[in-house]
Amino acid sequence: MSDETDLVQEIEDLGHDLAAAKASITKRFIGQERVVDLTLAALLCGGHGLLIGLPGLGKTRLVGTLGKVMGLQDNRIQFTPDLMPADILGSEVLETAEDGRRAFRFIRGPVFCQLLMADEINRASPRTQSALLQAMQEKHVTIAGAEHALGQPFHVLATQNPIEQEGTYPLPEAQLDRFLVQIDVPNPDRDTERDILLATTGVSEAESSQVFTAEKLIAAQTLLRRMPVGEAVVETILDLVRACRPEDPDAPQAVRDTVAFGPGPRAAQALMLTVRAQALLEGRLVPTAEDVARMAVPVLTHRMQLSFAARARGQNLNQLIRDVAARATRSEAAA
């Protein structure tokens, strides 16, 4: 009983810290509460986020503010077509000592940090994009046969421009799957845009303050994995993920007719983690089936693809996922 009481208290304390972190972030990244929640969820789950949005929506400001609030060492890389893997990972240089001896020394690249912003990641060549694959999944890189550990924790927040596709290299499915969530950054509503204008065009701007440390974030990531998840939520996750696979016999006809390929088991793992984060961010002790429905689009969108015929008909993948998620939630509630 004491262990359960301690767990409840730890979760409640973390909820208070997260509320303080959100309040600090929104001093500089105004409005867009859903974007902030999803980005924090990615960090709480120990994962990476893919931010999709037009230029000028504050994606770079958000990542920089997160680094300060969460107490993480952050770096930013502007991806361009001429960027090479060594520009990200680092390289070995030959040095000559005073005694004339020569030896190689490894100079670390910007990937050696705790929060990496990969700006316009799809502008780099596939060769350079792949340099992040091992880093994102294994949390270390291999240079000249030697392994080099990255920062603890290590997170990548990458950005993409959804309309500027000339001269870009779309991320392969294997790399998209490394991102825990896809975070769509929309244009702000009128009231939010008014607040942005007033807050950012004066002599000074509000400053965010640090709430977390790297050690505290790692402890929060461990605590999140200790949160209980009810059997009904587990079954809802399984129903949803399997229903999005066109080859599954229980998939709805709409999925079979429109989806080229569906999500794998990593999507189910992502949902198990993110529904807990969603509950934490709302100050709740356990996730619900409704959390599964809310996290369905961010977790599944980049792990699925419509068929050519469905895209030609102008069908919307996000709406399809919402429909399947609503069906899975209703089915579990009925059971």
**Angle made by CA atoms 161, 165, 171, in degrees to the nearest 5:** 75
Tracing tokens 């807990």 back to the chain, one arrives at 276
CA distance 196 to 188: 9
pLDDT band at 163 (very low <50, low <70, confident <90, very high): confident
* Residue 14 and residue 219 in contact, taking contact as beta carbons nearer than 8 Å: no
When pLDDT is cut at 50, 70 and 90, the band that residue 166 belongs to is low
Bridge partner residues of 146 (DSSP): 143
Would the CA dihedral through 23, 26, 31, 36 be positive or negative?
Answer: negative
Three-state helix/strand/coil letters over 97-121: CCCCCEEEEEEECCCCCCEEEEECH
What whole-number distance in Å separates Cα of residue 229 and Cα of residue 288? 8
Q: Residues 113, 83: contact at Cβ < 8 Å?
A: no
| Digit-coded pLDDT (tens) for 40-81 | 999 999 999 999 998 889 999 999 999 999 999 999 999 999
Does residue 149 have a pLDDT over 80? Answer: yes
Q: What is the pTM of this model?
A: 0.92
Peptide bond into 265 cis (omega under 30): no
Smallest CA-to-CA distance from 125 within 97, 87, 152, 75 is with 87
Query: Is residue 37 scored above 70 in pLDDT?
Result: yes
250: helix, coil or strand? Answer: coil
Q: What type of residue is 47?
A: G
Q: Kindly state the tokens that stand for 9.
A: 């208290």
Assess whether pLDDT exceeds 60 at residue 1.
no
Token pair, residue 263, equals 């999500």
* Location of each CATH 1.10.8.80 domain in the chain: 228-335
Instruction: Give the up-direction half-sphere exposure of residue 118: CA atoms within 13 A in the CB hemisphere.
Output: 33
Query: Taking the C-alpha atoms of 171, 185, 72 and 178 in order, what is their torsion angle to the nearest 10 degrees?
Result: -30
What is the spatial distance between Cα 267 and Cα 254, in angstroms, rounded to a whole number?
A: 20
Average pLDDT, the chain: 91
Could you tell me if 197 and 251 are in contact, meaning their C-beta atoms sit under 8 angstroms apart? no
First-to-final CA distance of the chain: 30
Q: Which two tokens stand for residue 172?
A: 């392969």
Cα(185)–Cα(58) distance, rounded to whole angstroms? Answer: 9
Give start-end residues of each CATH 3.40.50.300 domain in the chain: 1-81+112-226
Residue 165 has pLDDT above 80, yes or no: no
Q: What is the DSSP letter of 244?
A: T
11-19, long-range: CB < 8 A, 24+ apart: 11/223, 11/227, 11/280, 11/285, 12/283, 12/285, 14/220, 14/223, 14/280, 15/280, 15/281, 15/283, 17/211, 17/212, 17/216, 17/220, 18/44, 18/280, 18/281, 19/283
Given this model, what pLDDT does residue 144 score?
79
Look up residue 90 and give its two tokens.
Answer: 């680092």
CATH number, domain 228-335: 1.10.8.80
Using CA atoms in the order 21, 23, 24, 30, what is the torsion angle rounded to 10 degrees?
130
pLDDT above 90: residue 101: no
pLDDT tens digits along 205-219: 889 999 999 999 999
CATH of region 1-81+112-226: 3.40.50.300
**Of 157, 184, 139, 176, residue with least CA distance to 263:** 176
